[in-house]
Amino acid sequence: MKRGHYVTEAIILESFDFGESDRILGFCTRDFGKVKGIAKGARRSRKRFVGRLEPASSIKLFFHYNEKSELVRVDDAALINGFDGLRGDMEIFTAACYLVELTGAFTRPGDSQPEVFSLLKSFLSFMDNGGEALLLCRFFEVKLLSLLGYMPGFDDCVSCGEVVSSPVGGELFRFSPIKGGLLCRGCVVTGEKAVGLSAGTARFLQAVERMGPDKLHRLRPGALFTEEAGPLLDTFIKIRLGHGLKTKSFMEQMQSINPGAY
Ligand SMILES: [Zn+2]
């Protein structure tokens, strides 16, 4: 990027106060990947910024880039969609913030990934329109991992490459979150750490990966999917990132207090 003024569409990933009157922001932009910036005087200039710099909002971002600074200077922001439907309910809002935090954690400044921007925007919109929050989180995880080339395969053994045609040990495949794929019979006995995965859940995950985001609402998973895919994706993502996510632990806490949450 050359020094100068730019305009792009962006989703706000994070937003926090800095000093007396400024705000530090993280964006997932349509044209420039992840961008970090500072909105000087944002807390004083209510006219320019108020209500437009909240996480999980979609905005038209006007900024100035200078290669000498790690942060771009945010000159203006015009709200495109505040996704107000997400903000009245703590559980739904936390789920939306999880999508945002996950996107931020898996992307780096400088990588232009318009598909990631579109994916995040679509899923915030699905959630805003009353989609099932937890299921949307799972679908989003699969789509994001797939876009970034991290989605595990479910055909060959990740350890030795052999085709895994039938489940190992009763009804279940064995999935290694550390290696990121299925294990064959031989690799399971050699002591690989693995979690159980039914053929149905493996097929369902593949279907989610293949299907366009706007068609995903047609998929209705059974209880087994939630039971198996949840822990599998959670562990896999944690290992990939090398750390947990704040919003994910908050969602887990809310679920432990109220098992009916989400
Ligand atoms: Zn193997």
**Both 204 and 157 in a single domain?**
yes
Q: What pLDDT was estimated at residue 116? A: 97
**How sure is the predictor about 57, in pLDDT bands with cuts at 50, 70 and 90?**
very high
Q: What pLDDT was estimated at residue 47? A: 65
**Both 218 and 167 in a single domain?**
yes
**How sure is the predictor about 48, in pLDDT bands with cuts at 50, 70 and 90?**
low
**Both 123 and 236 in a single domain?**
yes
Name the amino acid, one letter, at 125. S
CA of 223 to the centre of ligand 1 (A): 29
Q: Which residues pair with 188 in a beta bridge?
A: none
Structural domain boundaries, residue 239? 103-257
CA of 188 to the centre of ligand 1 (A): 7
CA of 152 to the centre of ligand 1 (A): 15
**Both 247 and 160 in a single domain?**
yes
Integer angstrom CA distances of residue 58 from 12, 45, 117, 250: 7, 20, 10, 23
In a domain? residue 122? yes
- Separation of alpha carbons 255 and 76, rounded Å: 38
| Range in 104-108, 130-134, 191-195 the model is least confident about | 191-195
Written as six digits, the tokens of 143 are 């789509």
In terms of pTM, does the model score above 0.85?
yes
In a domain? residue 87? no
Q: What pLDDT was estimated at residue 45? A: 67
Domains contained in the chain, number: 2
The answer to whether residue 234 scores a pLDDT higher than 60 is yes
In the chain, the percentage of residues whose pLDDT exceeds 70 is 94
Residues 187-227 pLDDT 10s: 887 766 788 888 889 889 999 999 999 999 889 898 888 88
What integer is the mean pLDDT of 14-33? 94
**Both 54 and 158 in a single domain?**
no
CA of 185 to the centre of ligand 1 (A): 7
- Separation of alpha carbons 60 and 74, rounded Å: 11
The answer to whether residue 231 scores a pLDDT higher than 80 is yes
CA of 164 to the centre of ligand 1 (A): 8
In a domain? residue 17? yes
**Both 56 and 154 in a single domain?**
no
CATH number for 44: 2.40.50.140
**Both 78 and 107 in a single domain?**
no
**Both 109 and 167 in a single domain?**
yes
CA of 201 to the centre of ligand 1 (A): 20
DSSP state of 258: -
CA of 82 to the centre of ligand 1 (A): 48
| Range in 75-79, 137-141, 170-174, 240-244 the model is least confident about | 170-174
CA of 190 to the centre of ligand 1 (A): 9
CA of 176 to the centre of ligand 1 (A): 11
CATH number for 113: 1.20.1440.120
The number of residues making up the chain comes to 262
**Both 69 and 115 in a single domain?**
no
In a domain? residue 91? no
CA of 194 to the centre of ligand 1 (A): 12
**Both 177 and 74 in a single domain?**
no
What integer is the mean pLDDT of 219-238? 90
In a domain? residue 90? no
Closest Cα to residue 18, out of 34, 36, 35, 38?
A: 38
Q: What pLDDT was estimated at residue 193? A: 75
**Both 59 and 108 in a single domain?**
no
CA of 162 to the centre of ligand 1 (A): 6
CA of 47 to the centre of ligand 1 (A): 61
Name the amino acid, one letter, at 74. V
DSSP state of 161: -
Name the amino acid, one letter, at 12. I
CA of 240 to the centre of ligand 1 (A): 21
In a domain? residue 88? no
49, 82, 115 — which closes off a domain? Answer: 82
**Both 67 and 124 in a single domain?**
no
CA of 241 to the centre of ligand 1 (A): 25
